[in-house]
Amino acid sequence: MKKHTTNCCALLLLFLLAAFSCKSPRQSENILDYVDPFIGTGFHGHTFPGATLPYGMVQLSPDTHLDGWDASSGYHYDDTAIYAFSHTHLSGTGIGDMGDIAILPFTGNTDTVPLAFFRKESEQASPGYYSVILDNYNIKAELTSSLRTGFHRYTFSGKESRNIMLNLSHVLQASWGGRTIANEFEIIDKKSVKGVRTSGGWARKHVVAYYIEFSEEFNLAATVLDGKAGRETSFSGKDASIFFEFKESDKPLLLKVAISPVDPEGAKNNMLSEIPGWDFDLVKAEAEEIWRQALGGIRIETQDSSVKTNFYTALYHTKMAPFIYQDIDGRYRGMNNEIMQAPGGSVNYTAFSLWDTFRAFHPLITISDPEMAAVWSEALVQKYLEGGILPKWPLASNYTGTMVGYPAVAVLADALAKDLAPANLDKWLEAALASSTWQPDIYSVLDRDLASAIMTDHIRFKENLGWCPADSLIKSVSYGVEMAYYDWCVAKIAEAAGDSLRALEFYKKSEAYRYYFDPGTGLMRGKNYDGSMVSPFNPWYADHVEGDYVEGNAWQWSFFTPHAMDKIAELYGSIDRYETLLDTLFTTDSRLDGEGASGDITGLIGQYAHGNEPSHHMAYLYNWTNAPYKTQEILDRILKEFYLPEPAGIIGNEDCGQMSAWYVLSALGFYQLCPGEAVYTIGRPMIDRAFIRSGNGNFEILVHNNSPDNKYVKELRLNGEILENPFFKHSDIREGGKLEFFMTDSPV
């Protein structure tokens, strides 16, 4: 081979009413049997095993790890102690936050802060459900959830007092700045309480209102407010814990915890709307059915059980974020910190890990859940309307300024390329322009430190000088090459909006990657203000904080020109030289020079680092050379070695679905190198057959002669026609049809 729903209930109905028939001989299989929420909870995957719904605002999970990098999700598989079960978590991030409204059942006296211990073999987790035995208290803890309400069931031995701790001081990553700012609490009656918790950390001001109901009457044993013990039935303060006592019984104690980004009344309304009764098993069954439908959009067949577990668990992890951040009545807290009412037809979401997820996660969603992709695109533009700029990494209605450039435009451009954008693109273009050009006014709107992380000087130098000078800025190369791609995305939006002059302007800016290209080495290097290249130059050198490259080195950042693949021969001198450089990338020494090298650089093959996003497209680059079989060789290794059905089975931070989305797409046999251009390139499929729901039926993938040895693609057919090149269009999936791979054991 040569080279939008109107409200949140409607969102659930999309899952429950998914009556598409992805027919296959194994349709009767229960997909949930192949989902293991513990995958990614070991090593540095940073996932959590608790109960949640697809894109649910509640992520009810045990907190076993409170500080350090591996506390980012609140859980690490190596731990055997549980501090609490809290209701908000992040999946796979490299920075931690959340851990709100922490609950822990215990027995004995209420004079000390309880801590539970457990054995790993007593843990169970499946989509929508988690359970564990707390050994030192002899309590079986079970968790399930709806979109905005966590449901707890605790079964005590019946021989000791039954107690519940509500810890409103509980934070994740205290050493990284996580802290409690304020608490308001009130006992409503003998079975219910409410309050508002405000915390700070990665999200500088995170407001969580809550409403809690117990299945039985409680006795208020104690309150501890700012270190002072008492029995306050209502209070305002900072650090607070409340201890509740219940009569001895072997009858399960149940409690429901609803949360809201607005107020306790909103939380109560969420609870009454989503879980009005006390049937735990019914709510668990409903959660499982929602997950079954959500994961049923892609059906695969394979004789390899590891592939099936990896695939459906990865698909599960692509449903963790972004998550809904809006009450059932449509109210939410906006990026301006004001209480907003969702515009008609839109839903507010948060936790967009955009620098990670524009690469594979968002392209996957345009295939597996295009309605959601459209909703999220509009949600990003709405954040611009509220805050004045598109976010990089919005969290709980906060700008964080985390990561590089303005990646939201890549998500918008890809939605546009796949006919998922509105007819009127005026606001989209306005948002893209405001985020990609120097806007010093943002410094008068946001805190200066935060503004400087969002509207960085890289943009100012790009506008005034053309490139980011390495002797004036850190991270200059990473910002430079990524902003070139983002400007291409802006050009695409401008072109579709009918602004041809803006489109030409940004197409010209999109060639800025040339400033950093060193013809001598074939790598991207720092360029100083006077136009000279940074010297000395060591492409193995990496510095996590002060270097020219973000979370990587020159090897890992020199092949990011996704929008300019037609110019590769011109840039490198020849396609053969480009191929040789790729060969070197994958075979050179895997060493990292410099004491400050990033811990994110994991999963090394040569200098390719699959554990971090800048490398994720690189294995597919051979499809633009005369040796596409090399793509298939490398993918075979990545898919088999870096994704395993075990807790440590994800080779780096999962990053809100990006690592998993890469696996889903690659296991199906294709990948989108350039979001914004609705074209896929093929790889090495791991499955034997797949059925994907599409707009006009089903898209089938059939892999002939697939086996561990047959990793090379001999022939590719689309709807019976031989494809001479390893590419096909998004419209081919949307319109339905059949893609066939014919595999062999020798390079072709």
* DSSP helix/strand/coil, 182: strand
HSE-CB of 32 using CA atoms within 13 angstroms? 14
The residue among 647, 701, 742, 712 whose CA lies nearest residue 302 is 701
Distance, CA of 695 to CA of 698 (rounded, Å)? 8
Distance of CA 177 to the CA centre of its chain: 22
Degrees, nearest 5: CA angle 402-406-409: 135
For 18-48, the pLDDT digits (tens) are: 433 344 435 568 999 999 999 999 999 999 9
**Mean pLDDT across the chain:** 95
Percent of the chain's residues with pLDDT above 90: 93
pLDDT for res 160: 83
pTM: 0.96
Cβ proximity of 628 and 23 under 8 Å: no
Q: Which two tokens stand for residue 440?
A: 């010093």
pLDDT band at 9 (very low <50, low <70, confident <90, very high): very low
- Using the predicted structure, report yes or no on whether residue 498 has a pLDDT greater than 60: yes
pLDDT bracket for residue 473 (50, 70, 90): very high
Which residue would you say has higher pLDDT here, 110 or 164? 164
CA atoms within 13 A on the CB side of 584: 16
Q: Residue 225: left (phi > 0), alpha (psi -120 to 50), or beta? A: beta
Q: Give the 3-state DSSP-derived string for 528-544, with helices as H, strands as E and coil as C.
A: CCCCCECCCCCCCECCC
pLDDT in tens, 69-127: 999 999 999 999 999 999 999 999 999 999 999 999 999 988 888 999 999 999 999 99
Q: What is the DSSP string of 8-35?
A: HHHHHHHHHT-------TTTTS-GGGG-
Lookup result for tokens 């989108």? 672
Q: What are the pLDDT digits (tens) for 318-373?
A: 999 999 999 999 999 999 999 999 988 789 999 999 999 999 999 999 999 999 99
pLDDT score at 27: 53
Question: Is the separation of the CB atoms in 74 and 82 below 8 Å?
Answer: no
Q: Which two tokens stand for residue 213?
A: 């109901």
Q: Mean pLDDT, to the nearest integer, of 496-504?
A: 98
| pLDDT of 158 above 90 | no
d(CA 671, CA 679) in angstroms, rounded, equals 9
Q: pLDDT-based confidence at 15, cuts 50/70/90?
A: very low
Q: Strand pairing partners for 716?
A: 741
Q: How far apart are CA 292 and CA 506, in angstroms?
A: 44
Residue 637: helix, strand or coil by DSSP? helix
Given a cut of 90, whether residue 491 has pLDDT beyond it is yes
| pLDDT number for residue 2 | 40
pLDDT attached to residue 464: 96
| pLDDT of the residue at 16 | 39
Per DSSP, 562 falls in state G
How do strand 697-704 and strand 737-744 relate by DSSP bridges? parallel
Return the pLDDT at 29: 85
- Give the Cβ contact number of residue 378 at 10 Å: 22
Tokens representing residue 32 in the block = 């949930």
On whether the CB atoms of residues 462 and 468 are closer than 8 A, the answer is yes
Please state the rounded mean pLDDT for residues 221-227.
96
Amino acid at 284: K
- Residues 218-240 have a mean pLDDT of 96
**DSSP reduced 3-state for 636:** helix
pLDDT at 8: 41
